[in-house]
Amino acid sequence: MGAQEEAAKLKARGNKCFANHEWLDAIDYYTKAVDLYDQDPSFYCNRAQANIKLEQYGYAIADATKAIELDPKYTKAYYRRAVANGAILQSRQALKDFKAAVRLEPQNQDAKLKLAECEKMVKRIEFQRAIAVEDEPSAFEGLDIDSVAVEPDYDGARLAHEMTQDFIDDMITRFKNGKKLHRKYVYQIIAAVRKIVYQEPTMVEMEVQKGHKLTVCGDTHGQFFDLLEIFRLNGFPSESHYYLFNGDFVDRGSWSTEIALLLYAYKWLHPKAFFLNRGNHETDDMNRVYGFEGECKAKYTERVFKLFSESFSALPLATLIGKQYFTLHGGLFSDDKISLDDVRKLNRHKQRQPGQQGLMMEMLWTDPQPMPGRGPSKRGVGLQFGPDVTKRFCEANGLKAVIRSHEVRMEGYEVEHDGHCITVFSAPKYCDSTENKGAYINIGPDYKLEYHKFDAVPHPDIKPMAYAQNSLMSMMM
């Protein structure tokens, strides 16, 4: 059997893995096929789609580009490159590829639909840029919460001027039953927590006291019922059971407002025992594409989204646990000279959104890689850092490890870089399409790490991205 035939068999095995949502195994087979025979554009195009499923959009763009080089009339490759560019908000590049796909297949109705949606997205982004003002007034300006009346027939618990456990218990029940909070209480919760987190340092520094424990959770991405499963298995937050949620509370999953409000309510109830780090999805551009803005408008009001947006920009960017574990959403930096002191000094209030470069962007977006040094991002945003980078950072700052999130891990967590880099991800069966477990880490006063895995639980039949502004993103699900 020739190399081309053997490669085709490997591709077929990759396709089978893809059909079973085994994205990593699919990529492995496609890569083996490419290694045997590198002139078949479908090998690259199929690998691009698997990379899209893993949010490795930079890799997907490179694969689709190679497929196009081999076959300039390969419609599917243009289509997939467009999807990957759209996912990292490179809408103009996506628009060019959708146009190419329609030129090649004028009768392709799906491509024509996606082209029209992409055109709308580009116009919307340009309009938002045109009306943006540098010193936009606070969303809280003129918000008179006390004047908002709660109707007598509202069937939920009442909230006075302080958060209570009884109110949280009622909130959880309401959300499980598909009910909403009264907008007055939504305003109260966001306003109270924005004030608390604004006053916290950019890097919160905490200790785990004797008789206490800390649970570190990764991305929850709007998967409210899986968040409740963490609490069921591991215990609810209290003054002696600290929790740290390491960013990406919202977007993708269709219960993002429920998660954000519940986490905020616990932050208000236990301000010194409940910690929130900002993730790359606690940002305006991601929220507009991946569903949170649409969900806020659908369930509440546009003002609620603006209030959340302002509160997200006030969140700390990192938490230092017992002077041993530097915990942040993304990862490390493009410069070895960056230290914990640089993070301490970073004034996150000067820049509400992370932008395309700088410390904040890197803290929210970067990823580890197995090879030494630094490399281009597999996402197409930020960069990747190797085990030598992590080791130098830990040694220079007296750390045991960096704890981060930001990426699906099939077992819910992964220990990399000789134990110096730990990824924890807490959204099992991510987006209802990836067969991964979720995980969380318990840390006691001895600062030993205990890893716990858990499975997804059933949820009402509402699909991920139900509130996204268009169906472009549905191609990635």
Catalytic residues: 281
Q: What is the DSSP letter of 276?
A: E
Distance in angstroms (rounded) separating the CA atoms of residues 311 and 142: 16
Cβ atoms of 159 and 169 within 8 Å: the answer is no
Strand runs (DSSP E) across 207-357, as ranges? 213-217, 241-246, 274-277, 318-321, 325-328
Helix (H) or strand (E) holding 414: strand 413-416
Q: What DSSP designation does 145 have?
A: G
CA 424 to chain centre: 12
Q: Residue 199: exposed, middle, or buried by beta-carbon count in 10 A (0-12, 13-18, 19+)? A: exposed
User: Would you give the DSSP letter of residue 243?
Assistant: E
Listing DSSP states for 441-477 in one string gives EEE-TT--EEEEEE------S--TTTT-SSSGGGGG-
Residue for token digits 């929210």?
364
